[in-house]
Amino acid sequence: MSAPDITIFHYHVRSGGVTSVILLSIRAIASEMPEVRRIRLVVGEEPDAGLRVLLSSIASRSGAPRVEIETAPELGYLPPGRRASADPERLAQLLLERWGGALWWVHNYHLGKNPPFTEALLSIARARPGQRILFHIHDLPEAGRFENLKELHRSVTLPLYPILPNLRYLVINEQDRRLLLGAGLPGEIVSLLNDPVASQSLPEADARQTRRRLAEGFGREFPGYRPDSPILLYPVRTIRRKNVLEAGLLAALCPDSPNVIVTLPGVSPKELPYSRAVEERFRRGIVKGLWGIGERLAEVKLDFPSLAASADRIISTSLQEGFGYLFVDSLRWGKPLVARRLPILDGIGDLLDSPAVRLYDRILVPIDPSARSRLLAAYDRYLDGVAEELIRPDALRAEIRELLAQEAVDFSYLPLEAQSHAIEKSADPGYRSELVGLNARLLDGLERLPAPEPALAEAVERRFGFSSYAEAFRGILDSFDRGPSLALEADAARSDEVHRRLCAASQVPESFRLILA
Q: How many helices (H) and strands (E) would you count in the chain? A: 21, 15
| pLDDT tens sequence across 17-28 | 899 999 999 999
- Check residue 258 and give its pLDDT: 98
Closest CA to 270 of 390, 145, 380, 136: 145
User: Span 411-417, mean pLDDT?
Assistant: 98
CA 273, 277, 283, 289: dihedral to nearest 10 degrees? -110
Can you give the C-alpha Rg of the chain in angstroms?
Answer: 24
Average pLDDT, whole number, for the chain? 92
> Does pLDDT of 143 surpass 80?
yes
First to last CA, the chain: 43
pLDDT band at 488 (very low <50, low <70, confident <90, very high): low
pLDDT band at 74 (very low <50, low <70, confident <90, very high): very high
| Distance, CA of 129 to CA of 131 (rounded, Å) | 5
Least-confidence region, from 115-119, 124-128, 144-148, 327-331: 144-148
Neighbouring-strand partners of residue 164: none
| Distance, CA of 159 to CA of 497 (rounded, Å) | 9
Q: Which residues contact 477 (CB under 8 A, 6 or more apart)?
A: 1, 3, 103
| pLDDT tens sequence across 266-301 | 988 889 999 999 999 999 999 999 999 999 999 999
| Distance, CA of 497 to CA of 493 (rounded, Å) | 6
- Check residue 4 and give its pLDDT: 77
The domains located in the chain, with CATH, are 5-197+465-506 (3.40.50.2000), 207-362+428-459 (3.40.50.2000)
Residue 511, burial from CB neighbour count under 10 angstroms (0-12, 13-18, 19+): middle
- Check residue 223 and give its pLDDT: 95
- Check residue 357 and give its pLDDT: 97
